[in-house]
Amino acid sequence: MSAEQIIRDWKRKIYKPIYWLEGEEEYFINEVMDFAEHHLLTEEEKSFNLSVFYGKDADWAAVVNACRRYPMFAERQVVLLKEAQQMRDLPKLESYIQRPLESTVFVVSYKDKKVDGRGKLAKLLKEKGELLSTKKIYENQLPEWVSELLRTKGLDIQQKALMLLIDHIGNDLTRIKSEIEKIQINLGNRKMIMEDDVENFVGISKEFNVFELQAALVRKDLSKAIRIIQYFGSNPKAAPIQLILPSLYGFFSKVYMIFGLGVTDEKTTAAALGVSPFFVKDYIQASKNYGFRGVENALLLLHQYNLKSIGIGSLNVEDSELMKELVVKMV
């Protein structure tokens, strides 16, 4: 079951006695925990029926005793155990999980870890409650995820503005949501997010960013690429080299895949590369402009300059100078 489905069930007053939220994507875990803390009970009910524990400081017996209490002046009580991965005696909760109280909603946050699927605890969780196991979203899934998030807020976004936002933030879902909420506040009655909105309210230059650098390299527009890198040199926080190189390597890795596909149509290529059909033309154009050897050379150079950026084979050279050397050799 997904985080969205758990919240949908709660809104429909459908509850299970235990929810175990685990895995590497804390955004979904936080969304469920936040809803449980702020929306499962009314403000009046929270005074007697909401208990919050933190794994590092929580005593297992106190958690179990809280779960075994009956609600006061309410149909149910809510017990939250946050950061459970830091709890020393976590396995001792099994006795309660085996016989949970139906009037208690016990929600456990177990971040960056997973219970052993073959163990007793995992079997109990699946039998007695709901186990949500989260994974990081891949880069090619981000456009769809962000678009769906915007739809839930009644918003839409220009494709270029969408890629500008994603390329700048990456798959930090919590920050993406925060930046979208910031933009929404400033939109007024407007529902379409434009490039200018991302530039003005997120602080990304729509002319000088990693996405535009990539586009310049696709066209082999060396002068534009150098201007962008000079901007990065004057504004180091805009796009550190540790952000630029992996982004370009990911792009040219997908371009490299094109030569093995044996197809030329955009739809099939986009599906095979796992990229948005809106931007697949850039990948195809890069494959034509560079050719097989050129793309192979670009990947080798990106690897070489990644090593130089951490001081291997190059000392006391500014990042902007390394980037200039790199793009000159690539183009």
55 torsion bin: left (phi>0), alpha (psi -120 to 50), beta (else)? alpha
Same domain, residue pair 221 and 277: yes
Residue at 151: amino acid letter: R
On whether both 123 and 145 belong to a single domain, the answer is no
Residues 227 and 118 in one domain: no
Instruction: Identify the helix (H) or strand (E) that includes residue 109.
Output: strand 104-111
Task: Name residues whose C-beta falls within 8 Å of residue 9's C-beta, 6 or more positions apart in sequence.
Answer: 15
Summarised one tens digit per residue, pLDDT across range 138-175 is: 877 888 899 999 999 999 999 889 988 988 888 889 99
- The domain that contains 267 carries what CATH number? 1.20.272.10
Domain range for 162 is 139-202
Give me the pLDDT at residue 317, please. 86
Kindly state whether residues 129 and 10 are assigned to the same domain: yes
Q: Are residues 126 and 158 in the same domain?
A: no
Cβ atoms of 55 and 82 closer than 8 Å: yes
* 51 shares its domain with 173: no
The reported pTM is 0.75
Q: Are 106 and 198 within one domain?
A: no
pLDDT number for residue 141:
86
Same domain, 55 and 112: yes
Residue closest to 172 by CA, chosen among 30, 21, 23, 27:
27
End residue of a domain, out of 151, 176, 202: 202
Tell me the CATH number at 107: 3.40.50.300
10 and 130 assigned to the same domain: yes
* 50-93 residue pLDDT tens: 999 999 999 999 999 999 999 999 999 999 999 999 998 888 99
Q: How many domains does the chain have?
A: 3
Asked if 170 and 263 sit in the same domain, the reply is no
